[in-house]
């Protein structure tokens, strides 16, 4: 029997081994019933109390949990860092922070649940995973720094990774706090830059306190003043007064008192006795209260600047290539010379010097060789001058020479002759030899003019007349010359107008075969219509076109017009004979010429064999390398080639043999006097014999009489061209003549 039951029975006077007394047992059972009823009530009350207490605890716990979550949320929203909850495999379990979404490499929902290897490029993923595992394995804080380009550009970060000793799904975890260090990095970089600038600045910098006591200095300051940094601690700004003269110190003190700063050019007297030209700036730095906090003195060495000023002035007033005075300085010297001539007894002269045939050097052997020739020209001219003569380069191949205090008016002539003599000597450029020469125009002052612009214009006019007279000579300006030069400029303007307004047209002169009487060729001859100057002869306007370089544009128009005319004649049922077109030296020097010719004949669908180019003997002999290349290419394309004005130059048989020339055209000057001049007859006869020996045809130009025709037949000339048979005709007249 259970001891507890025995105790209850004994308490009620009952024994288990005795025969029970019914009254006592009834009493006992009633008592037990009361006890059980009482126990039921107590249990109900206890259960009810526990139920109420449990609900209250749950409510209290939920309230506490919400309060805690609110505090955590508030904290994470204001923390400027990203907080990641990561396991040891690099999987992001959660992103705790809320306020720095723009720092995330990907949106939050694309990060949570994914591993570092799935999110970041390999180099970043490897670095982050290694740091995470190191923190977990060592159970210590691990710090890494890195930069990354995200949505807001390149930024710098610091990650602090700490183990948690908590496992998620059986894997150890860590917390990574990532802070954006971009601003701090920029601040550090900025301070480092400032420090580097201060230390490495070429300007000397001294910083002193409000009381003018030494605080900091850079190496440049010490170097400029010739002092050591070790000497400076304890010094004041006033210690440097000995480096300046009294006038400079007074100027510095006065400006500092009036404006609290100084800047200006100063001369520094260094302890070793040397001097330094510098720009000194002293600035006052105020604190937030507006009180003086520091003074900063800065020294800039402007010794080199002074040299640069002088060099810049030289560059601005002298020619880069020859180092001679340039246009600016020449005009300044000329103005001063004209001013001096007003008060002096003797005047002076201006010589305008232009090199002859210089463009040929640039066109054939290049501009580098041309520069070397210009240098040699400048040297030769300088050694021809008197002491005090002013010589400079205007530009290109043009020079000016100013001669003052001329007692004998023949002095400019002697100087010009000496210059021409020096420049006429051959110039050797590599394996090539060039003969240049110079055309010189001379204007006197004050006789011709006291105005600089007019004087230069007059010398220029005289130079152009020297060129027209055959080059390699000098000419004095005169009033009559003025009219000639004006006409030259008017002709040039007329040529430009004709190009722009369609003022050019072509006439054609037949070439007749003496044996058959047939028209075997037509020479295209240029004419100008509607000019203000009236009828202009090709003999007058072609030289102007050559000098002004308009000949290239005109030649292009002529070739295009000839091709167009040939096509038109064919469309009208007329088969024209060979058409001859004159080429100038400028065209032969044009590197684009052959390409333009090829394009034009292709455009009109013509065969090159229907056109023959006529090149004067002088042009042929002076074509040089570029010209020879052009001639060769024209022949390879299928164009014919004849030598015009034969006999007026100095052809070499070697040059004639080099090219497959088709004809020699005997110049009209020999034909004109062949009846009365035995020498002209001999030249014509020899030219025809030479042509036959070389297998070339011959054409006599300018045939006007029956007697000339008879002699040319006797000499067995192949073809003639001239007024005897037919003058130049318009395209419409040519059709009738051919028919």
- pLDDT score for 727: 92
Residue 707: the pLDDT is: 94
Tokens representing 673 are: 């006097």
The position carrying tokens 């190191």 is 134
Q: How many residues would you count in the chain?
A: 739
Return the pLDDT at 19: 55
As a whole number, mean pLDDT of residues 169-175 equals 89
Average pLDDT value for residue range 609-621: 82
What confidence category does residue 338 fall into, taking pLDDT thresholds of 50, 70 and 90? very high
DSSP states of 350-367 as a string? EEEEEESSHHHHHHHH-H
- d(C-alpha 123, C-alpha 251), whole Å: 63
More confident residue, 381 or 18: 381
Q: What is the distance, to the nearest Å, from the Cα of residue 278 to the centroid of all Cα atoms in its chain?
A: 34
CA distance 695 to 262: 92
Residue 579 makes CB contacts below 8 A (sequence gap 6+) with 508, 521, 522, 523, 524, 562, 566, 610, 611, 612
Q: Which fold has domain 318-477?
A: Alpha-Beta Plaits (3.30.70)
End-to-end CA distance of the chain: 165
Contact 175, 83 (CB under 8 A): yes
In angstroms, the CA 245 to CA 382 distance is 46
Give yes or no for residue 262 having a pLDDT over 80.
yes
Q: Are 223 and 204 in contact (CB under 8 A)?
A: yes
Q: CA angle at residue 448 from 442 to 449, to 5 degrees?
A: 115
Q: How confident is the model at residue 580, as a pLDDT? A: 94
In angstroms, rounded to a whole number, what is the distance separating the alpha carbons of residues 524 and 610?
Answer: 13
Please choose, from the candidates 423, 419, 455, the residue with its C-alpha nearest in 3D space to the C-alpha of residue 436: 423
Cis ω for the linkage preceding 529 (within 30 of 0): no
Q: Which residue has the higher pLDDT, 222 or 612?
A: 612
Q: Buried (b) or exposed (e) across 456-481, using 16+ Cβ within 10 A? A: bbbbbbbbbbbbbeebbbbbbbeeeb
What pLDDT was estimated at residue 241?
A: 78
User: Which of 459-463, 480-484, 682-686 comes out lowest in average pLDDT?
Assistant: 480-484
Name which residue leads in pLDDT, 303 or 610. Answer: 610
Give the tokens for residue 121. 């490029």
**Maximum average pLDDT range among 336-350, 354-368, 392-406, 654-668:** 392-406
- 205-306 homologous superfamily: PAS domain (3.30.450.20)
What pTM does this model have?
A: 0.48
Mean pLDDT of 80-109: 79
Q: How far is CA 35 from CA 7, 24, 42, 346, 494, in A?
A: 15, 16, 10, 158, 146
Strand order across the 82-87 sheet? 92-95, 82-87, 171-180, 153-168, 142-150
684-694 mean pLDDT: 89
Say yes or no to pLDDT of 149 above 90. no
* Joined tokens for residue 197: 């600038």
Residue 450 CB-density burial (10 A; 0-12 exposed, 13-18 middle, 19+ buried): middle
Same fold, 79-185 and 205-306: yes
pLDDT of 215 reads 82
Confidence of residue 542 (pLDDT cuts 50, 70, 90): confident
Cβ atoms of residues 459 and 477 within 8 Å? yes
Q: Which of 176-185, 305-314, 454-463, 641-650 is the least confident region?
A: 641-650
Q: Which residues are registered as beta bridge partners of 268?
A: 276
Average pLDDT over every residue of 213-221: 83
pLDDT over 70 percentage in the chain: 86
- Residue 309 has what pLDDT? 77
Which pLDDT belongs to residue 671?
A: 92
pLDDT in tens, 417-443: 999 999 988 888 877 788 888 999 999
d(CA 263, CA 251): 10
Phi, psi angles (nearest 5°) of residue 571: -65, -25
**What is the CATH architecture assignment of 79-185?**
2-Layer Sandwich (3.30)
Q: Which two tokens stand for residue 637?
A: 């394309």
Spatial separation of the C-alpha atoms in residues 282 and 263, rounded to whole Å: 6
More confident residue, 622 or 162: 162
Comparison of pLDDT for 373 and 191, the residue scoring more: 373
Measured CA to CA, the distance from residue 151 to residue 242 in angstroms comes to 60
Q: Under 8 Å CB-to-CB from 138, ≥6 apart: which residues?
A: none
Distances (CA, A) of 194 to 184, 288, 546, 648: 15, 21, 65, 80
Q: What is the pLDDT of residue 1?
A: 55
- Pick the closest to residue 558 from 511, 589, 526 (CA basis): 526
The sign of the dihedral angle between the CA atoms of 653, 659, 661, 667 is negative
Average pLDDT, whole number, for the chain?
Answer: 83
Distance, in Å, from the CA atom of 264 to the CA atom of 254, rounded to the nearest integer, reads 13
Strands 697-701 and 719-721: parallel
pLDDT at 359: 80
CB 600 within 8 A of CB 567: no
pLDDT at residue 43, as a whole number? 74
Read off φ and ψ for residue 444, nearest 5 degrees.
-100, 145
Residue in the structure block whose two tokens are 């009254």: 23
Helix residue spans in 217-365 (DSSP H):
219-225, 246-259, 303-317, 327-341, 358-365
Residue 225 has pLDDT above 70, yes or no: yes
Give the SS3 label for residue 241: helix
Structure-model confidence comparison of residues 97 and 693, the more confident one: 693
Question: Distances from the Cα of 42 to the Cαs of 11, 28, 48, 49, 460, in angstroms?
Answer: 23, 21, 10, 10, 138
pLDDT tens digits for range 523-537: 999 998 766 677 788
- Going from N- to C-terminal start, the domains of the chain cover 1-77, 79-185, 205-306, 318-477, 493-738
Amino acid 99: pLDDT: 55
Query: Does residue 150 surpass a pLDDT of 70?
Result: no
As a whole number, mean pLDDT of residues 77-91 equals 80
pLDDT higher than threshold 90 for residue 579:
yes
Q: Residue 384 and residue 423: Cα distance in Å, rounded?
A: 10
Q: What is the mean pLDDT of residues 659-668?
A: 85
User: Tokens 């260090």 identify what position?
Assistant: 181
CATH number of 493-738: 3.20.20.450
> Which of 204 and 102 is assigned the larger pLDDT?
204
Q: Cα–Cα distance between 305 and 636 in angstroms, integer?
A: 61
Alpha-carbon distance values, 222 to 212, 214, 232 (Å): 18, 13, 9
pLDDT of residue 433: 82
Reply yes or no on whether the pLDDT at 574 is more than 70.
yes
Residue 201's nearest CA partner among 233, 227, 223 is 223
CA dist., res. 648 & res. 666, Å (int): 9
Residue 288 or residue 133, greater confidence: 133
Q: What is the pLDDT of residues 26-68, one digit of tens each?
A: 776 677 777 767 777 777 777 777 777 667 667 666 666 666 5
Report which listed range, 4-13, 583-592, 729-738, is most confident.
Answer: 729-738
Span 549-559, average pLDDT: 91
Residue pair 478/374 in contact (Cβ under 8 Å)? The answer is: no
Question: How much is the CA Rg of the chain, to the nearest whole Å?
Answer: 54
């Amino acid at each position: 029997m259970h001891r507890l039951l025995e105790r209850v029975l004994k308490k009620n006077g009952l024994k288990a081994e005795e025969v029970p007394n019914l009254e006592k047992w009834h009493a006992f059972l009633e008592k037990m019933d009361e006890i059980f009823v009482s126990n039921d009530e107590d249990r109900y009350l206890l259960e009810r109390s526990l139920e109420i207490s449990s609900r209250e605890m749950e409510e209290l716990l939920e309230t506490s949990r919400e309060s805690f979550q609110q505090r955590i949320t508030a904290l994470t929203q204001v923390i400027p860092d990203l907080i990641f909850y990561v396991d040891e495999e690099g999987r992001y379990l959660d992103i705790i922070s809320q306020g720095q979404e723009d720092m995330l490499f990907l949106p939050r929902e694309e990060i949570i649940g994914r591993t570092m290897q799935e999110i970041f490029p390999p180099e970043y993923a490897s670095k982050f995973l290694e740091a995470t595992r190191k923190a977990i394995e060592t159970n210590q804080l691990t710090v890494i720094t890195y930069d990354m380009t995200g949505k807001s550009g390149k930024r710098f970060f610091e990650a602090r990774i700490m183990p948690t000793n908590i496992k998620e799904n059986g894997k150890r975890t860590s917390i990574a706090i990532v802070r954006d260090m971009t601003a701090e990095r920029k601040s550090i970089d900025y301070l480092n830059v400032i420090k580097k600038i201060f230390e490495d600045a070429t300007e000397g910098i001294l910083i002193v306190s409000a009381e003018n006591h030494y605080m900091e200095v850079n190496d440049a300051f010490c170097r400029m003043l010739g002092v050591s940094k070790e000497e400076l601690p304890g010094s004041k700004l006033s210690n440097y007064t000995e480096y300046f003269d009294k006038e400079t110190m007074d100027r510095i003190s006065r400006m500092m008192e009036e404006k609290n700063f100084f800047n200006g050019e100063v001369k520094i007297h260094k302890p070793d006795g040397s001097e330094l030209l510098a720009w000194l700036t002293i600035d006052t730095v105020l604190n937030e209260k507006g009180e003086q906090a520091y003074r900063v003195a800065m020294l800039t060495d402007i010794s080199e600047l002074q040299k640069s000023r002088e060099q810049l002035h030289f560059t601005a007033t002298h020619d880069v290539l020859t180092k001679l005075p340039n246009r600016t300085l020449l005009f300044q010297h000329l103005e001063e010379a004209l001013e001096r001539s007003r008060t002096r007894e003797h005047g002076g002269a201006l010589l305008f010097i232009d090199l002859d045939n210089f463009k040929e050097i640039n066109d054939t052997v290049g501009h580098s060789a041309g520069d070397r020739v210009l240098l040699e020209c400048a040297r030769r001219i300088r050694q021809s001058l008197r002491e005090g003569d002013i010589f400079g380069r205007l530009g290109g191949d043009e020079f000016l020479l100013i001669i003052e205090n001329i007692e004998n008016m023949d002095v400019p002539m002697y100087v010009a002759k000496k210059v021409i003599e020096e420049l006429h000597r051959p110039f050797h450029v590599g394996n090539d030899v060039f003969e240049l020469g110079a055309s010189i125009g001379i204007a006197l002052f004050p006789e011709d003019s006291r105005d600089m612009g007019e004087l230069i214009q007059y010398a220029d006019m005289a130079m152009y007349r020297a060129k027209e007279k055959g080059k390699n000579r000098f000419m004095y300006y005169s009033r009559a010359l003025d009219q000639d030069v004006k006409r030259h400029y008017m002709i040039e303007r007329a040529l430009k107008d004709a190009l722009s307004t369609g003022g050019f047209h072509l006439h054609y002169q037949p070439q007749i075969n003496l044996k058959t009487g047939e028209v075997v060729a037509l020479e295209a001859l240029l004419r100008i219509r509607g000019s203000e100057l009236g009828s202009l002869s090709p003999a007058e306007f072609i030289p102007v076109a050559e000098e002004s370089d308009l000949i290239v544009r005109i030649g292009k128009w002529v070739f295009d017009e000839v091709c167009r005319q040939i096509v038109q004649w064919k469309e009208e049922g007329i088969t024209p004979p060979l058409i001859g077109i004159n080429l100038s030296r400028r065209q032969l020097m044009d590197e684009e010429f052959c390409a333009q010719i090829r394009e034009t004949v292709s455009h009109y669908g013509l065969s090159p064999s229907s056109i023959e180019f006529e090149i004067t003997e002088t042009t042929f002999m002076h074509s040089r390398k570029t010209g020879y290349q052009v001639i060769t290419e024209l022949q390879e394309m299928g164009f014919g080639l004849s030598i015009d004005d034969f006999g007026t130059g100095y052809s070499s048989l070697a040059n004639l043999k080099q090219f497959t020339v088709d004809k020699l055209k005997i110049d009209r000057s020999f034909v004109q006097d062949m009846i009365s001049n035995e020498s002209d007859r001999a030249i014509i006869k020899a030219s025809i014999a030479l042509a036959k020996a070389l297998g070339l045809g011959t054409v006599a130009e300018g045939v006007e009489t029956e007697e000339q025709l008879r002699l040319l037949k006797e000499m067995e000339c192949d073809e003639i061209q001239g007024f005897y048979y037919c003058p130049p005709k318009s395209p419409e007249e040519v059709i009738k003549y051919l028919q």
